[in-house]
Amino acid sequence: MNLKLILLIPFFLFTKSTDEVVFFWGQNGHRVTGKIAENHLTKKAKKNIDKLLKGKSLAFVSTYADEIKSDRKYNSYSVWHYVNMGLEESYEASEKNPEGDLVVGIDTCIKVLKNEQSSEEDKVFHLKMIIHLIGDLHQPMHIGRREDKGGNDVQVQWFGQGTNLHSVWDTKIIEDFNMSYLELAENADQLSNAQIASLQKGTVIDWVNEVHKITNDVYGSVKSGDKLSYRYSYLYLETVRTQLQKGGIRLAKVLNDIFG
C-alpha cells in the first residue's frame, strides 16, 4: 500500500463525523480524474483542448454530465453513465441496452471529436461528456447488475445511516479521504512512466471487463441489510484511490489519441 495512504488511514479513522463535508465521486472524484488526466496531456492535446474549453480545466468541466441530468432534453444520455452486466459475463457476451450504454457513449464521443466535420458546439459537448464518462467507467458500481440497478437496490447501513451499495461507492468511501480534489490527485498521481504505459494499454472494453472484476468482488462482499463502517472503508480505500488514478491516466490516453 502507498506510504502516503498508510499515513492517511489513521487520520480518517479518527475524523469521521456527521458534520464533515461530503466529497462525491460525482464531484471531487471526477475532478481528481480530470486533474490527473490534465497532468499527462501532451502539449498539443492541451492546446487543442484549451481552445474548445476556453481555458477551463478538465477538473472544472468533469461534472458537466451530471449537472445536465435534471434537464429533460438530455434524458437520452442517461444510459451513457453505466453498463449492466451479469456477474460472470464479459461486456462482449452481455445483453446490450438498445438505447446505448457507457461503452457506446464513449465511442460516440470519440467519433464526434475525431470528425473534422463536427461543429465546435458538438465537440465541446462530447468533450465534456467523455471527460466524465471515463471517470464513471472506473467506478465499479457503474458496471453493475441490471436487476439491482448497479447496487442502487442493495440497501445497507453506512455508519448507522440507511443508504445503498451504489451510493457507498459513489460518495461514501471517497469522503473518508478527507482531502480536497487537488490533494487527492497529488496523492494518487504517483506513478513511473512504465506504470503509466502499462495502465494505458488495452481498449475501453478491456477496461470495462477489468473494472467488472472489482464489481464482482464488491457484490460478493456485501448483502442487503449489512452494516458497513470503518472496516469496509479500510478494505476498499486503496481500491477507490487506484480507480481514480486509472481513470485519470486512461482519460489522458484517450484525449492524447484524439487531440495529439
pLDDT in tens, 91-114: 999 999 999 999 999 999 999 999
> Can you tell me the distance from the alpha carbon of 2 to that of 195, in angstroms, rounded to the nearest whole number?
14
In a domain, 230, yes or no: yes
The amino acid at residue 151 is: G
> Can you tell me the distance from the alpha carbon of 63 to that of 29, in angstroms, rounded to the nearest whole number?
9
Q: What is the mean pLDDT of residues 44-72?
A: 96
| Whole-structure pTM value | 0.88
pLDDT in tens, 151-176: 999 999 999 999 999 999 988 888 87
> Can you tell me the distance from the alpha carbon of 61 to that of 255, in angstroms, rounded to the nearest whole number?
14
User: Per the structure, how many domains does the chain have?
Assistant: 1
In a domain, 8, yes or no: no
Query: CATH number, domain at 77?
Result: 1.10.575.10
In a domain, 16, yes or no: no
SS3 annotation, 87-106: CCCCCCCCCCCCCCCHHHHH
Range(s) of the domain holding residue 85: 22-259
In a domain, 4, yes or no: no
In a domain, 2, yes or no: no
In a domain, 7, yes or no: no
In a domain, 140, yes or no: yes
In a domain, 187, yes or no: yes
